[in-house]
Amino acid sequence: MSVLIKENIITLNTKNTTYQMAVNPNNYLAHLYYGALLDDSLAIERGNVGYHTLLPLPYDCRNREFSSAVCPLEYSAYGCGDFRTTPLKVRFSDGSSVCDLIFESANYVDSKPKLEGLPALHDNEGKSQSVEICLKDKVHDLRVYLLYTAFEEYDIIARSVRIENHTGGDLILESVLSTCLDNYEDEYDLITFDGKPYAERTFHRTPLGDVKLTCESKRGSSSHQCNPFFIFATKNCDEKVGECYGSAFVYSGNYTASMEKTPIGTTRFVMGINPENFNFLLKDGESFQAPEVIHSYSNNGFSKLTHNYHDVIRKHLFRGKYADAERPILINNWEATYFKFTAEKLLDIAKKAKAIGVDTFVLDDGWFLGRNSDNSSLGDWFVDEEKLGCPLNQLIKEINALGMKFGLWFEPECISENSNLYRAHPNWVLQAPDRKGALGRKQWVIDMSNPDAVDGIFGMMSDILDNNNIEYIKWDFNRYLTDVYSHALPADSQGEVHHRYVLGVYDLLERILKKYPNVLIEGCASGGGRFDCGMLYYSPQYWTSDNTDPMERLSIQYGTSFCYPIIAMGSHVTESPNHVTKRDTPFKTRSNVAMAGTYGFELDLTKLSSEEIEFLANETNVYKKYSQLIRTGDYYRLTSNSARYMGWQFVSNDKLNSLAVIVQRTSNIDFKPIIQKFEGLNPSVMYRVVIDGKERENLYSGNALMNIGLNIRSLKYENESTRIEILSAKAQ
């Protein structure tokens, strides 16, 4: 049993972790423990924390012994002495915001319930167990249902919150965060994956000081600027040792996450929908479902934490045909042609792509009515046959005849001022009355909180998908939300637009997937601006960044790998000098870096020499040989982001095959040898080692490879890379 309710203690156990809470003498749901697996002992000792505190200003003199300001709690509301960030704030119909949540009930839940309208970990095979706990305000019948699910095998605890209003009046939800994780230590570092366009998800480690650290997005999407995945870790934590806690938000809109200390040395981490610009009217009898947070704990460093997330996302977040299937190798025409192409040019590229073993041709932006620059036509999802020089389905037929699939770019949530859609439906745009919205990237955002707009977009996309053999969609979103106002909602509901927008996007994605279950959706948002667990529920791969320079991708892919599986990262071989940075990088390095992802191409193959085509054909074969290992294997970061060279390694589940790549970042002028130790192998298995296609004469034991390492003699210069295959000698 991974969930146990015994007297006043509720315990969730996974293979290596325990999460425990208790109803304390004041009837609050206290947090007792989250850490390494406990035997039968209970963390009840800790139930005293928050009592008998020596704090000079107790909250309530009638109850001197208890302080809700410091007691580790599972969830709490604004107004009754918990001065940390309280996850819940409501405004009752009498105008008061005072709410005091006490324990009401705890019940086992058989199978993990779906969260209405929201993405979440799924479990159709009974691999998880859940408990639902009800807290209730002391005065009003406001109920807070906390759902906890333990995925035993992966050391994962998923949490979400549902609010039910039975107060007899309407109320306003001003904040409903999804998790509150109090802890009994305060010597932590907070690890964030922040950045910007072209530098998404960069690893940063900040010691938790005496002031609160807050990270957030107010951009309407989870953003390039700070990914909704956080780790807090003990000071000694590195890839292999130390304790760390991860929290991934399964949501793609505005969010907040913060961490703070209390005077008695406990900490609070919270995460949820950003309360700024959020006011949700909850009528009597209605409920509100907040999104899920996926927690994990490791006392074996970051590497184990990463494996927990990669496994659970691959098995319980990805869905549909491509959840557990080979992903196609793509050629995308964007960096090859931008807006300037004809069907003939595309076909020429497709033919070369076929010669190097590519499976799918993707036609990017510019295929629809009048779209020759980013100045017009978004929203008019009708084929521009004049530009193509033929109907789209004729081009698709010719590409299919080459033995390749066809994919198409859409940006369903955006609209150009110069578009028939805008002329027909000006009210479908997010913009406040009497104001023209900001034209970020020369476009506006469609009001996805308006079901009519969602229906309209769905209709146009369906027409294209019904009449053309499209097996892949690149779902782009090149804006942040500004001018957030919905013409479909009354004045006093405008605080709901941000969240309803996200629900509308999820609804459209769900409808497309339901109607076209064979279509693979790859998400994109000006690169990796909405790369989060919410989107991965619909699109099991995401364009990692518009920065396609492999040397810059090293740090982006490094940061992304902490939470997100490698097979979720869209990554392509592009032209050199790179279009973004003008840096020159050898083909080999471009290919090695793209292999730590979905692999594909984004350059004009017709311009390559026959040697280059042959080289890439060989590279594609190598990727195909290792694609299952890359997709399903365990991933190890061999170096940190600040190292002068960077390495990573995939190990098959049976530990018999492994593939590693090392990239030299700076020229090695002092010719220091790279003696690289490897991870995750079987110490007693003998392995063959093949470096860049050349087999070493000796066999090496897993023990030697992990403890002594290999002297990588081949790397001297900046931007060079090497590929190391480690293969069980027996399997030869």
Task: Specify the residue, 411 or 718, whose C-beta has the smaller distance to ligand GLA.
Answer: 411
- Quickly tell me which residue has 């639902």 as its tokens: 132
Q: How far is the CB of 67 from ligand GLA (least distance, A)?
A: 50
Q: How far is the CB of 441 from ligand GLA (least distance, A)?
A: 8
Burial tier of 594 (Cβ tally within 10 Å: 0-12, 13-18, 19+): buried
Does position 476 bind ligand GLA by CB under 6 A?
A: yes
Q: Which of residues 383-442 bind ligand GLA (CB under 6 A)?
A: 409
- Annotation marks residue 612 as catalytic: yes
SS3 label, residue 48: helix
Distances in whole angstroms, Cα of residue 76 to Cα of each of 317, 379, 631: 28, 44, 40
- Annotation marks residue 532 as catalytic: yes
**Stretch in the footprint of ligand GLA (CB under 6 A) among 51-59, 141-149, 413-421, 520-528:** 520-528
Interatomic CA distance for residues 549 and 557, integer angstroms? 12
Sketch the per residue contact string, 436 through 475, with ligand GLA: x for CB under 6 A, - otherwise: ----------------------------------------
Task: Specify the residue, 305 or 524, whose C-beta has the smaller distance to ligand GLA.
Answer: 524
List 452, 612, 654, 695, catalytic entry:
612
Interatomic CA distance for residues 413 and 456, integer angstroms? 11
Q: How far is the CB of 182 from ligand GLA (least distance, A)?
A: 39
Burial tier of 244 (Cβ tally within 10 Å: 0-12, 13-18, 19+): buried
Task: Specify the residue, 280 or 367, whose C-beta has the smaller distance to ligand GLA.
Answer: 367
Distances in whole angstroms, Cα of residue 242 to Cα of each of 309, 431, 635: 17, 49, 18
- Quickly tell me which residue has 């009837």 as its tokens: 27
Given 152, 364, 398, 447, the residue binding ligand GLA (CB under 6 A): 364
Q: How far is the CB of 445 from ligand GLA (least distance, A)?
A: 15
Given 322, 334, 531, 537, the residue binding ligand GLA (CB under 6 A): 334
Torsion-angle region of residue 81: left (phi > 0), alpha (psi -120 to 50) or beta? left
Interatomic CA distance for residues 348 and 354, integer angstroms? 10
- Quickly tell me which residue has 């990463």 as its tokens: 306
- Quickly tell me which residue has 């049976």 as its tokens: 654
CA–CA–CA angle 298, 304, 305 (5° rounding):
60
**Stretch in the footprint of ligand GLA (CB under 6 A) among 120-128, 294-302, 521-529, 657-665:** 521-529
Q: How far is the CB of 299 from ligand GLA (least distance, A)?
A: 39
Interatomic CA distance for residues 659 and 691, integer angstroms? 10
Sign of CA dihedral 340, 345, 347, 348: negative
List 82, 359, 532, 602, catalytic entry:
532
SS3 label, residue 541: strand
Interatomic CA distance for residues 78 and 75, integer angstroms? 10
Task: Specify the residue, 319 or 441, whose C-beta has the smaller distance to ligand GLA.
Answer: 441
Distances in whole angstroms, Cα of residue 118 to Cα of each of 132, 150, 154, 431, 437: 18, 19, 22, 25, 28
**Tokens of residue 486, six digits:** 């919905």
Q: How far is the CB of 636 from ligand GLA (least distance, A)?
A: 29
Task: Specify the residue, 339 or 485, whose C-beta has the smaller distance to ligand GLA.
Answer: 339
Task: Specify the residue, 527 or 680, whose C-beta has the smaller distance to ligand GLA.
Answer: 527
Q: How far is the CB of 58 from ligand GLA (least distance, A)?
A: 55
Given 82, 546, 552, 634, the residue binding ligand GLA (CB under 6 A): 546
Does position 152 bind ligand GLA by CB under 6 A?
A: no
Given 527, 540, 565, 702, the residue binding ligand GLA (CB under 6 A): 527
DSSP at 58: -
Does position 223 bind ligand GLA by CB under 6 A?
A: no
Does position 194 bind ligand GLA by CB under 6 A?
A: no
Given 74, 123, 359, 365, the residue binding ligand GLA (CB under 6 A): 365
Contact 173, 283 (CB under 8 A): no
**Tokens of residue 463, six digits:** 């027409």
Q: How far is the CB of 529 from ligand GLA (least distance, A)?
A: 8
Sign of CA dihedral 497, 499, 503, 509: positive
Does position 478 bind ligand GLA by CB under 6 A?
A: yes
Q: How many residues bind ligand GLA (CB under 6 A)?
A: 11
Given 192, 298, 468, 526, the residue binding ligand GLA (CB under 6 A): 526
The neighbouring-strand residues paired with 651 are 634, 658
Task: Specify the residue, 123 or 476, whose C-beta has the smaller distance to ligand GLA.
Answer: 476
Residue ranges that bind ligand GLA, judged by CB under 6 A: 334, 364-365, 409, 476, 478, 524, 526-527, 543, 546
Residues labelled as active-site residues: 532, 612
